[in-house]
Chain A
């Protein structure tokens, strides 16, 4: 039964991810005085891509063709770890939050390799920049997460969320810092403005898009889906770690339905904030990203220190 719900939760994750991306796009269009596409446009795009014949470069090796499946599966695996509608599911015990970061690294490793595989300048450029940004973002992210795991004294996300729930609404300075750090990291890792712009293919600025320039058809679809999933994963992480209320603690149908509604509501609000931020802020120069990410790291460190100095039991 528990395993069934775990599988169901992962499926929900995968299915809802394009909806969230559509919703962000929709909000952004409204804010920028444009006519918005339907919220379900992302699904139509993905479906269209699966029906198209993929064109692969003659230079490409097997790695280029297999990479989208690897990237997608690694991201789905990361999704199994994060509690979406219920805590205490068996899948979240099979891998903890460090393993989740590892899954992201796995997907990124193959994405960067795929960028280098065709032998164009764009692919290499994208890979190099992606690896740079992620290697700066990873310590910041782990710093923010360590703050949480040390407060809850577990690296298991499910238990950590249950711990936060059990404590009730306490304003912890460490959590405020960690939240800010995690938001900054999430923006960088999911390639949103001001770090990267998912809507552009401008040569000098693109990062994520440069790596996947050679992909088409179902391969492109898988990679797009994986990046939508990644956006949703970070959203759920932020929503459920710092505002876990509403998540199902018992596995009754009512609680689960309530949990689903709660997370959808929370994500919708987060998406509106993201859209506002993307509308207000301009994209920054590539070599400003390090300052941005070291600020995120600093916030994480402050969170950690305030936990150790102010909150720890002794």
Chain B
């Protein structure tokens, strides 16, 4: 029954993709409907009219689009239902589908871990399907056909769901590739710009290199097992060396997809160029699927984790978290900024996952469960608020036709609803209390503070430092999102487009983000239900649950014990309402002190202009100076001089270029190496056919010799 729900989700997403292909089949539909009308004699006139009008060119397109998104939304709802039912029943369901090669049926397994990620995918897909119809309206059908977008969106979602269901290496890789390739076409959707094509190619390249690493990782496991099913791989007994090699390969492969530093470079290129609802899915969900892969590989398939792996994850996670947010801060393109912020959040998740591994390897499964809980809860939260922010960015792009935050401003008055939703997203991602981002960060801190149980002195001093890095990350994230919200929504409009912007008309485009914002707030106040669901996941995966199961009420959050730490968000909310209410009531009671509006104080000079406001580069200038080594900063100030002695400044030109260190340090050497190698290989390609024939002959002889 549970599996039926999961299959329904997959099939519906396939169906939505296929339906999108019907975009250009209007005439066939017409013929079909007339055929049916003729066949059924009791067809009345009204019925015919309805069909005729719905087959009008424009109407047909809109209806079909809506139908595609309805199917996608249904797929999301089924995914949520499937996920919830398996999480609540705590069952493990297995199945075989006789697809693929005859002697290699696809194995399917649906357990709590898959179910939890189904939940994440489902919520995100539902929100996106509410948002989608309004957003895709802005695309010109002749230039950017919806059929392409709809087909690959459906395939992409189906691919993600199938990855979660897979229970053998072949099926896993097929689903993984489906997900990667479908998302490549989505990134390349607006392929008329060369920058987009470049980003898409970079994405494809890294996705495929990552996939290779994953295949090799499975290969190493399979070398010690009889078969490629996950059950067989679980039984495999690996020496520590081979297990570590498999771990490193998996880390490289899944880390590339998840966007861990230094293999994160595709994220900030690919996310800004994809359509916004697709970037929301990619950033909010696809990165989580990569995370799922890593968790499945390490905790489930490899089984015995080593604390050294945990340290690797912890350090990589810390670098990614700090690097991600510092790079995010310097961006002026909103979606690029959000992409870098995803790197940061994935870094946080990896950190906590590393802690979990360290505790697991040190014989503290309960604390490992706490770490896994924090990691999974943060993954869940990140899916919610990053989706929300990307959808919000889409609305802003839709209404102002730009993504450069230096050109925005004052949108809080033009787009009040969007601004509230975006504010909730910003507050969640900055991990402020009362919102969901804070709860997972609090859990992460609680995990890190349990370090006293470890014997290893190095670990005991390393982990608190990582916790302090986490604190720095959170504080920098708050600064970054103050900048984002402040520059986009507050102040005066910095461009004409922004001045003329107005609230989005489409209800669905607001409903999608509103759903996510509501969940962000709800799970910030009542994190209990989600936490008890995740507790089931760790129960199944690690065999242990939280130290303090009883404390998983709706009111209190005390994961270790009430004496050690507790947090009661509902009480905090009540306290905030009381304190705010009293001060509000007390101060506003006197009607003679109603507020008065006046001009902004301009130091008596007059004429404040929008360009006098702080810009993005001005806001982040102190950070640029303090953490100068983190970026490659290229700052140029040119002055146009004129006047009698050429001493009057007519204009000042300021240029700021921020570059990622990983390009010159890592990728350009690789690129040079590949080019040099290609040149070497090129020497044997003379263009002479006789030489090529002799190559073939030599190869043939060699192979014959090898076989004999």
Q: Are A286 and B622 in contact (CB-based, < 8 A)?
A: yes
Within 8 A of A (CB), among B455-509: 455, 457, 460-461, 464-465, 467-469, 471-472, 474-476, 478-479, 482-483, 485-487, 489-492
> Is A17 an interface position by the 8 A CB rule?
no
Please measure, in the bound complex, the distance between the C-alpha atom of A265 and the C-alpha atom of B371, giving whole angstroms.
43
Q: A154-B565, A156-B564 are in contact. Are A109 and B475 (CB under 8 A)?
A: no
**What residues on A are CB-neighbors of B571 within 8 Å?**
91, 94-95
Interface size on B, residues (CB 8 A): 84
Across the two chains, which residue of chain B brings its CB closest to A52?
B593
CB-based contact A73/B472 at 8 Å: no
A312 interface hit (Cβ, 8 Å): yes
Residues of B within 8 A of A156 (CB): 563-566
> Is B579 an interface residue when CB atoms closer than 8 A count as contact?
yes
Knowing A135-B475, A136-B626, A217-B593 touch, does A127 contact B600 (C-beta < 8 A)?
no
Whether B594 contacts A96 by the Cβ 8 Å rule is: no
> Do A57 and B622 form a contact, CB below 8 Å, given A80-B575, A150-B464?
no
Tell me whether B442 and A99 are in contact (CB under 8 A): yes
Question: Hey, what's the 0/1 contact readout for B204-218 against A, CB within 8 Å counting as 1?
Answer: 000000000000000
**A18-67 with Cβ < 8 A to chain B:** 50-59, 61-63, 65
Verify if B595 is at the interface (C-beta below 8 Å from A). Answer: yes
Q: Is A102 an interface residue (CB 8 A)?
A: yes
User: Do the beta carbons of B614 and A128 come within 8 Å of each other?
Assistant: yes
**Chain B minimum-CB-distance residue to A133:** B622
Stretch in A114-122, A191-199, A234-242, A270-278 touching the partner: A114-122
Bound state CA distance, A143 and B601, in angstroms?
41
Q: Which residues of A are found within 8 Å of B430, using beta-carbon distances? A: 105, 109
Whether A69 contacts B614 in the complex (CB less than 8 A), given A53-B594, A112-B482, A116-B487, comes out as no
The prevalent SS among residues of A at the interface is helix
A143 close to B468 (CB less than 8 A):
yes
Known: A69-B580, A127-B486, A128-B619. A314 touches B455 (CB 8 A): yes
B109 at the interface (CB under 8 A from A): no
Tell me which residues across on chain B come within 8 A of A113, comparing CB atoms: 482, 485-486, 490
Known A-B contacts A117-B490, A121-B612; the reply to A58 vs B576 at CB < 8 A is: no
Q: Any chain B CB within 8 A of the CB of A153?
A: yes
Contact in complex: B608, A119 (CB < 8 Å): yes
A99-B587 contact given A56-B598, A119-B492, A132-B622, CB 8 Å threshold:
no
List chain B residues, Cβ under 8 A from A164. Answer: none
CA distance A52 to B587 in the complex (A): 11
Q: Return chain A residues, CB-CB under 8 Å to B486.
A: 112-113, 115-117, 124, 127
Q: Mark B567-578, 1 if CB is under 8 A from A, else 0.
A: 110011001100
Q: Is the CB of B596 within 8 A of A73?
A: no
CB–CB B572/A94 < 8 A: yes
Q: Does A283 contact B (CB under 8 A)?
A: no
- Interface membership of B610, Cβ < 8 A: yes
Q: Which residue of B lies closest to A146 (CB)?
A: B464
**Is B619's CB under 8 angstroms from A143's CB?**
no
Query: Nearest CB to that of A137 among chain B residues?
Result: B475
Tell me the nearest residue of chain B to A300, going by C-beta: B468
Contact yes or no, A102 B464, CB < 8 A: no
The smallest beta-carbon distance between A134 and chain B, in angstroms, is 6
Q: Which one of A61, A77, A131, A304 has the greatest number of beta carbons of chain B within 10 Å? A: A131
- Smallest CB separation, A300 vs chain B (Å): 8
Alpha-carbon gap, A50 to B593, bound state (A): 8
Residues of chain B in range 385-417 having any CB-CB distance to chain A below 8 Å: 409-410, 412-413
Residues of A within 8 A of B485 (CB): 113
Also in contact, A128 and B622, with CB within 8 A (given A56-B597, A59-B492, A312-B460) = yes
Kindly list chain B residues whose C-beta atoms are within 8 Å of the C-beta of A123. 614
Q: Closest Cβ of chain B: how far from A130's Cβ, in Å? A: 9
Q: A144 CB to closest chain B CB, in angstroms? A: 10
Contact mask for chain A residues 63-88; partner B; CB cutoff 8 A; 1 contact, 0 none: 10100011011101100100000000
Pairwise interchain contact A93-B566, C-beta atoms closer than 8 A: yes
Q: Which of B532-568 contact A (CB under 8 A)?
A: 562-568
Whether a CB of chain A sits under 8 angstroms from the CB of B446 is yes
B81 CB-CB contact with A under 8 Å = no
Which A residues lie within 8 Å of B562 (CB)? 93
Q: Which residues of B are found within 8 Å of A117, using beta-carbon distances?
A: 412, 486, 490-491
Please, which residue of chain A has its CB at the minimum distance from the CB of B412?
Answer: A61
Chain A residues within an 8 Å CB radius of B596 = 53-56
Known A108-B478, A132-B623; contact A74-B576, beta-carbon cutoff 8 A: yes
Within 8 Å CB of A304, what residues of B? 461, 464-465
A98/B597 in contact, CB under 8 A: no
10 contacts between A and B (CB under 8 A): A56-B597, A103-B433, A108-B478, A134-B475, A135-B479, A139-B468, A143-B471, A156-B563, A156-B564, A308-B464
* Chain A interfacial positions (CB closer than 8 Å to B): 50-59, 61-63, 65, 69-70, 72-74, 76-77, 80, 91, 93-96, 98-99, 101-103, 105-106, 108-109, 112-113, 115-121, 123-125, 127-129, 131-132, 134-139, 142-143, 146, 149-150, 153-156, 159, 213-214, 217-218, 221-222, 286-287, 290, 297, 300-301, 304-305, 308-309, 312-314
